[in-house]
Amino acid sequence: MNLDDCRRLDAQDPLAALRGQFLLPDGVIYLDGNSLGVLPRAAPSRIAEVVAKEWGEGLIRSWNTAQWFDLPQRLGDKVARLIGAAPGEVVCTDSTSVNLYKVLFAALSQAKATSRRIVLSERSNFPTDLYIAESLCRERGFTLKLIDASELPAALNDAVAVLMLTHVNYRTGAMHDMKALTAAAHAAGVLAVWDLAHSAGAVPVALNDSDADYAIGCGYKYLNGGPGSPAFVWVHARHADRFEQPLSGWWGHAAPFEFTPHYQPASGVARYLCGTQPIVALAALECGLDTVLAAEPFDGAQGSMAALRAKSLALTDAFIALVEARCPGRFTLVTPREHHLRGSQVCLAMSGNGPGAYAIVQALIARGVIGDFRAGDSQMPDILRFGFTPLYLGFEDVWRAVEHLVQVLETDEWKRPEFNQKLAVT
Amino acid sequence: MNLDDCRRLDAQDPLAALRGQFLLPDGVIYLDGNSLGVLPRAAPSRIAEVVAKEWGEGLIRSWNTAQWFDLPQRLGDKVARLIGAAPGEVVCTDSTSVNLYKVLFAALSQAKATSRRIVLSERSNFPTDLYIAESLCRERGFTLKLIDASELPAALNDAVAVLMLTHVNYRTGAMHDMKALTAAAHAAGVLAVWDLAHSAGAVPVALNDSDADYAIGCGYKYLNGGPGSPAFVWVHARHADRFEQPLSGWWGHAAPFEFTPHYQPASGVARYLCGTQPIVALAALECGLDTVLAAEPFDGAQGSMAALRAKSLALTDAFIALVEARCPGRFTLVTPREHHLRGSQVCLAMSGNGPGAYAIVQALIARGVIGDFRAGDSQMPDILRFGFTPLYLGFEDVWRAVEHLVQVLETDEWKRPEFNQKLAVT
């Protein structure tokens, strides 16, 4: 595969025009949309409108005139189309961590009446998910048990209350089989809680078809909602009116404007709301959601996310092939090669776990190829992590990214001191 | 007092120029800054800059180049100047309700080892505070006891774990004596948790001088942070490193970028953070905070908030005097008349609790005089609520607001059907 091949693929790409939805900085090949999605072209003017008109002119009247109160559900309905949920089942609100606290609390409340006292998760799950689970388990008399992914099915037994997993692993890009694991969990009487941070907008997700119990996810990664954008939360309809909401704030009340002194949870999805939500941030998130939904017409009969998934796999296949062809012996592929086992990112480790992962990422960033580095430990190697967002990446971008990588390696550019100094946030 | 008197007061007002900091809609006299503050003139361009430059251009690099990670503390230090706290004691994050959950959880954790099992609050406390407390108390084996404000001191005994109060009442505008009640609480071995939603930026607050234990507050009322702006949280230094944080997310971790699997809370104020915060909303909040801090140079030796407080009292005194002089017999003053007993709002009930409160507020809004209505119940009358923000209100505004009120009453305008139809959000 050469540059001409890549250009030909771009010319044939039905999704190529979707890149026009974004404001991408000049000279940047952005392979970090799994960390923070890029700016939708519609966002600056929409945000300016919300600020000047809804806040500035409408002021408090905008709760009625701009329907602020409906925003979490209206956006939730858009997310629902991307994760196999039904309208009215999702709200956009709070942060991913806070939403995980809500759903895990609810799942543990359901398990309280049983003798099950284990929350099962993966050792390499995203740390903040483990932090939330660790505190909540300690507080409520449960034990968080961390094992390797391969050990999960065998560990589902009648001591386990909840299986809590991130669908696509933040480090490796490995993707769980949500339907099979949920079925295995249910067969063992275990509730399944899924974190979709690296799935929503990245891969097809079928929550209802998988019969999952609870799910949460992030707005600022593949959904392009902007830095720190509100997250989302979903609960299966069978739990929706029984879900215990520990963060029982006014917005989740059955009659929020009656100012009654006692909490009465709203039925259904509104129950998952708590305090007043950042309206400007929700407006930005809606612009991001719309960029992903713009790919829907290309899905055809194959269903939600089919077109984006096909292009994502083609891009990542091309990246893997080019890295292996042009940097032979330098890297080990950490991400599973098989399509059904991975999300929309590709992670590389240095062959033999040699040095350089951090500095190579920094040298690439200096060249405008933005990926990120994730430090390893005694069990996991340091990795170079590259996220592929098919909405705004093409095959020529892939070719150029690898070309930069080749140059960084061949010239030993990565050995320069400035690329070996740790930044505050990595 | 007539219109000329008011104009003379405006001409002598040292804070008059601060109004220039805001973009106020034409024809509006805004008496609802206690519900949603107005748009700072600096906010649209600052927000546009964060969106275009920090998000759009900087992308993920902005965590380092734009110091996103420091925002909650940097803004917290600005809030600290307004509430009698020290630098490093406050963070801006999450919603008021979520922050109340955090601090109340922490206070209840401290009480767990004792036999104290009551959380004491005021029957007319803000409902969302009561909702959060109600669920948390039930979950953790405590009882929420609601009484009238006058009964509070006598009810502080060795069965009470926590006294949870809102400093300035959202309905009546009545202000508690924070220092005296905190001292009474401590004398009885009770922790004091304060909600500053209607205090921060409205009245002088002296958290450390009052020796309070925990406090939270709102960013979008008197702090002008924009709709649903992040809230703030403060904890006295004596608890700061021992505070139990139930929402144990990555941002409150001692080493958030080491991605270790176990939660280790950060020391001090950073412990109160949880998930990723809405960066654009934080930028807007900073613009709001700066509008309030712009009054600091006028405080002189009297300390924080002195100049704003003096003008607030003068405005509210004028409003009360004009209403009583020009609408004799129509209204009962619900807000205490004495300065030391009230915040920066004035609430009126219909004399004899007659009809019209809702419709009069709607008729005023139609005339551009924006206040709000709060429904009563068997114990409390319906009220017309008027918030006074001295940063952007003058004495002529007060005069005109009352003139509109007189006209609405004299012409029976408020009886029109359109002013008697309930809006979705009131």
Contact B275 A48 (CB under 8 A): no
**Alpha helices for A66-206 (secondary structure H):** 71-80, 96-111, 127-140, 152-155, 178-187
ipTM surpasses 0.85: yes
**How far apart are the CA of A39 and the nearest CA of chain B, in angstroms?**
5
Residues of A marked active site are found at: 126, 195, 220-221, 385
Q: What is the mean pLDDT of chain B?
A: 96
Q: Is B390 helix (H, G, I), strand (E, B) or coil?
A: coil
Residues in chain A within 8 Å Cβ distance of B227: 54-55, 62, 68, 276, 278-280
Q: Distances from the Cα of A223 to the Cαs of A243, B52, B273, in angstroms? A: 26, 18, 23
Residues in chain A within 8 Å Cβ distance of B146: 261
The pLDDT score that the predictor gives to residue B260 is 85
Contact A47 B43 (CB under 8 A): no
Contact A60 B279 (CB under 8 A): no
Average pLDDT rounded to a whole number, residues B318-328: 98
Which of these is catalytic: B22, B30, B220, B386? B220
CB A331 within 8 A of CB A159: no
Rounded distance between C-alpha atoms, residue A195 and residue A205, angstroms: 11
- Closest CB from B68, B228, B249 relative to A97: B249
Take residue B300 and report the two structure tokens written for it.
Answer: 């002189």
The one-letter amino acid code at A357 reads A
Take residue B189 and report the two structure tokens written for it.
Answer: 């071995």
Pairs across A and B, CB distance < 8 A: 264
Rounded distance between C-alpha atoms, residue A418 and residue A87, angstroms: 50
SS (H, E, C) A148-159: CHHHHHHHCCCC
Digit-by-digit pLDDT tens for chain A (426 residues) are 899 999 999 999 999 999 999 999 999 999 999 999 999 999 999 999 999 999 999 999 999 999 999 999 999 999 999 999 999 999 999 999 999 999 999 999 999 999 999 999 999 999 999 999 999 999 999 999 999 999 999 999 999 999 999 999 999 999 999 999 999 999 999 999 999 999 999 999 999 999 999 999 999 999 999 999 999 999 999 998 888 899 999 999 999 988 888 999 999 889 999 999 999 999 999 999 999 999 999 999 999 999 999 999 999 999 999 999 999 999 999 999 999 999 999 999 999 888 899 999 999 999 999 999 999 988 889 999 999 999 999 999 999 999 999 999 999 999 999 999 988 887
How far, rounded to the nearest angstrom, does the alpha carbon of residue A188 sit from its chain's CA centroid? 28
The pLDDT score that the predictor gives to residue B253 is 95
The pLDDT score that the predictor gives to residue A285 is 98
Average pLDDT rounded to a whole number, residues B282-296: 98
Residues in chain B within 8 Å Cβ distance of A425: 63-64, 68-69, 257
Query: Among B122, B99, B225, B105, which residue's Cα sits nearest to residue B168?
Result: B122
The pLDDT score that the predictor gives to residue A76 is 98
**How far apart are the CA of A33 and the nearest CA of chain B, in angstroms?**
9
CB B298 within 8 A of CB B292: no
Contact A425 B262 (CB under 8 A): no
By DSSP bridging, strand A231-235 and strand A214-217 are antiparallel
Mutate to test the interface with A, among B49, B250, B372 (most CBs of A within 10 A): B250
Q: Distances from the Cα of A401 to the Cαs of A27, A363, A393, A396, B286, in angstroms? A: 11, 12, 11, 8, 38
Rounded distance between C-alpha atoms, residue B183 and residue B198, angstroms: 21
User: What b/e string do you get for A290-319 counting C-beta neighbours within 10 Å, with b at 16 or more?
Assistant: bbbbbbeeebeeeebbbbbbbbbbbbbebb
**How far apart are the CA of B43 and the nearest CA of chain A, in angstroms?**
8
Residues in chain A within 8 Å Cβ distance of B280: 47, 226-228, 280-281, 284
Q: Is B348 helix (H, G, I), strand (E, B) or coil?
A: strand
Rounded distance between C-alpha atoms, residue B253 and residue B276, angstroms: 12
The pLDDT score that the predictor gives to residue B79 is 98
**How far apart are the CA of A301 and the nearest CA of chain B, in angstroms?**
34
Average pLDDT rounded to a whole number, residues B236-254: 92
Mutate to test the interface with B, among A61, A135, A248 (most CBs of B within 10 A): A248
- Closest CB from A43, A228, A365 relative to B278: A228
Q: Is B235 helix (H, G, I), strand (E, B) or coil?
A: strand
Contact A275 B231 (CB under 8 A): yes
Q: With a threshold of 0.80, does the pTM exceed it?
A: yes
By DSSP bridging, strand B214-217 and strand B191-195 are parallel
Query: Among B161, B58, B183, B57, which residue's Cα sits nearest to residue B111?
Result: B161
Contact B55 A226 (CB under 8 A): yes
- φ, ψ for residue A122, nearest 5 deg: -95, 140
pLDDT confidence bin for B354, thresholds 50/70/90? confident
Contact A94 B94 (CB under 8 A): yes
Q: Distances from the Cα of A77 to the Cαs of A240, A272, B249, in angstroms? A: 15, 14, 26
pLDDT tens figures, B160-210 = 999 999 999 999 999 999 999 999 999 999 999 999 999 999 999 999 999
Name the residue in chain B with its Cα closest to that of A230: B278
Average pLDDT rounded to a whole number, residues B25-37: 97
CB B52 within 8 A of CB A25: no
pLDDT tens figures, B92-117 = 999 999 999 999 999 999 999 999 99
Query: Among B125, B202, B171, which residue's Cα sits nearest to residue B347?
Result: B171
Asked if B195 is an active-site residue, the reply is: yes
With a CB cutoff of 8 Å and minimum separation 6, the contacts of A226 are A37, A39, A43, A219, A220, A281, A284, A285, A288, B51, B55, B278, B279, B280
Find the helix or strand (DSSP H, E) in which A310 lies: helix A306-326
Count of positions (residues) in chain A: 426
B151 forms beta bridges with none
Crossing angle between the packed helical segments B306-326 and B3-12, to the nearest 10 degrees = 180
Share of chain B above pLDDT 90, in %: 93
Residues in chain A within 8 Å Cβ distance of B103: none
Query: Among B146, B155, B156, B158, which residue's Cα sits nearest to residue B111?
Result: B158
Query: What torsion, rounded to 10 degrees, do the Cα atoms B211, B252, B59, A290 define?
Result: -90
B373 forms beta bridges with B384
Crossing angle between the packed helical segments B3-12 and B395-410, to the nearest 10 degrees = 160
Question: If you ran DSSP here, which 8-state letter would residue A342 be given?
Answer: B
**How far apart are the CA of B386 and the nearest CA of chain A, in angstroms?**
13
Contact A278 B278 (CB under 8 A): yes
The pLDDT score that the predictor gives to residue A234 is 97
